[in-house]
Structure 1
Amino acid sequence: MKKHTLALGVSIALLSTYSQAQTSSEKEIWGGLFGEYYSVYPEKFEPNTAYDSGMGWGGEIGMKLTPDWGFRFEVAKLDLEAERGSGSITGERIGVDALYFINQSNYYIFGGLKNQRLDESYRMADLGLGAHWQLSDKWKIISEIAGYYDFGQGNPEYSAKLGVAYSFGKTGGQRVNKDSDNDGVIDQRDLCPNTAFGATVDVDGCALKATDSDKDGVIDAKDQCANTPMNDKVDANGCSIFTEESKTMSLKILFDNNSSKLKNIDSASVQEFVDFMRRYGSTDAVIEGYASAPGTEQYNMKLSVERAEAVRQYLVEQYNIDSARLEAVGYGETKLLDKANTREAHQKNRRIEAYVTATVKIAVSK
């Protein structure tokens, strides 16, 4: 055991010197001490005294060759308790492991070959899971569980380990994925360092010639709205800028004296009004009925309502406009267009007026 301890100490010293000399290396070197719980196969020593489990301690020196792979050399001293009665047996274990770091993280799978010496020597293979828990840039905790297979007897054994390690050298770990110009290509592969911020680059880190297919002033790489109209003003994402405007359509129909029947309707005006309502399907129209001054106020109010309702029914039945979108209201003689007591004035006042307003988005021109 003294020879193995001496070998471990020499290895640590040599690897520490190596880590200081290799200033451009991307390797990480660590050394650590650990304690472990070890469970031995109960019938391993038959017909002699059977031993069960016990504690151990030891040290390791390891090197991370790449972000994925590493190896380590390990020496441990074991102290196993007798399964029945008193007594114990001491021994040692020495070997090497390959470590695979899962997704380049601090969690790893390891496996290797070990030589265990208790009452005699045993050749073993091990396989386990472990983790390095970083305390600081230099210090970390090591935790592992492992299974062992004895090639001679074919017996399984197990251990759980907890220790602490110190990194002697980690030269270059921060430079592995460094991207000085922030173009998405790491420095080791960047053939065009210091490209302008925000520039689109190829796999070698060199700026691509910017293209603007729809000529809106925003390059294709950043254009979220391709093929915008040539005359539209666009935002930083290449999308048309809109403003809201109100559009209103009106309809006017005249009636005979004392009548709410429709006749001599200007079908073109009605069709234009209907087309507007169909184009803007979320709009509602108000149909206002009016009467001329002759007659009582109560009668004229009733007549104006009938005129508004007549137009409402006409739009529903002849043009299939949803009745819920049409409101008929009567105002009687309260809103005369012409207050003169003449035939022409009375004709102007016998009417309905319908209005519908839509709020629409209009693209802003350059």
Structure 2
Amino acid sequence: MQFKNSASMVIGTLVVAVSIGAHAQGKGAVEVSGFGKYYVPDSSRDIGSNGTLLGGAVSYYLTDDVTLGLNYGTYDNIDGQNSHKDIHGELGGLDATYHFGTLGDSLRPYISSGVAHQSIGQDNRGGRDKSSYINIGTGLKYYFTENLFADAGVTGMYNMDRGDTEYMAGLAVGVNFGGAGKKVEPAPAPAVCNDDDNDGVCDNADQCPDTEANVTVDADGCPAAAEAVRVELDVKFDFDKSAVKQDSYAEIKTVADFMNQYPQTTTTVEGYTDSVGSEAYNQQLSQRRADAVRQVMVDEYGVAADRVSAVGEGESDPVASNDTAEGRALNRRVEASVEAQSK
């Protein structure tokens, strides 16, 4: 059997594949490679040395993992048993290969099996020594890119005519092109969210499907529970004075702004004194202090007068001891608190 035409086809296909570029791996791809193998003949052969097999192969991906391929090579550097002259020959075959791993992996081990035919010169005799083989091999492919790879493998060859076994080990470089490539699953279609009451919660998860417009809702689409918010006021006064100090205006403004934000709120400002002086005098002084703070809220910061009341509590309910100057300073105060429900 002659394979010279096959050799030309393999080499030509390799050149074309490199020139046009490879496109993909996988089912339907064509793989083209050039190889060099080290050949170890059986000792009973009329061959005096090991040698090399140079050639090429072309394979077709039947599936993403299985290829069917043809290969052809010529022997070089083989000496005869007696004459030590070069013996020339050729080997061609058909192999099926199964690749492990996943399409697109950098490393893909494989196993192969097939048949081959060898035609080789005979030492000191005319004619050719022809043999048929059953091959079993294994190896590893490394993909530099999706399409360019290197291949290292070993093959055991059983000679069906002579009943002996020979071996080859080699390296190859190749490309593949034209396959379907690694399957890319399409992105799932975006879920459709129907929201009839426009509260931001999809109908299939909305437990309150008829919420009124502009109502804040929770994750279930129901009106969110109101959250209590609170602000407090604590304004200090100098001894026997009811004038609001300038550095207290910012704190009063904070309370006034809160009340303007929540117009349903009301508050009572409560004035206090220390224990110095008569109880009756301190009662009047505490009222003047409460009135002064109320007036700032109304006149300076726009809180409606009917939303703020003022009460003097005198020297009752001290927050610190009146036995020290520091304690008495803390007791000279006006307090207020405002609470609202925030949605």
Greater RCO, CA 8 A, separation 6+: 2
